[in-house]
Amino acid sequence: MGNEASVQAQAARADELALMQALLNGDLQAIQALLKQNPSLVYAHSKAGENLWHFAAQGGDAQVLKAVAAAVEGALAGQKKQDKLKGRINHEFNKVNQAVNQAISSAVPLPAAIAIPMSTDIGINAKTMDGTTPLMAAVKAGKPEAVAELLAAGADARRGDSSGATAVHHAAWQGQAACLAGAAAAWAAAGGAGGSRRQLGAQAG
pLDDT at 184 over 90: no
The percentage of the chain sitting over the pLDDT mark of 90, rounded to a whole number, equals 51
Cα separation, 33 vs 182, whole angstroms: 32
Q: Helices 52-59 and 144-152, interaxial angle, to 10°?
A: 140
133, 161 Cβ separation under 8 angstroms: yes
- Express each pLDDT in 144-181 by its tens digit: 999 999 999 999 999 999 999 999 999 999 888 888 88
pLDDT of residue 195: 42
Cα separation, 43 vs 119, whole angstroms: 9
Return the domain boundaries, the chain: 2-204
Q: What is the CATH number of domain 2-204?
A: 1.25.40.20
Residue 7: which residues within 8 A CB-CB, separation 6 or more?
none
Residue 119: which residues within 8 A CB-CB, separation 6 or more?
43, 79
Angle at 185 between CA 150 and CA 178, to 5 degrees: 70
- Express each pLDDT in 60-105 by its tens digit: 999 999 999 999 998 888 666 666 666 666 666 666 666 555 655 5
Q: How many CA atoms lie within 13 A of 154 on its CB side?
A: 9
HEC string of 138-170 equals HHHCCCHHHHHHHHHCCCCCCCCCCCCCCHHHH
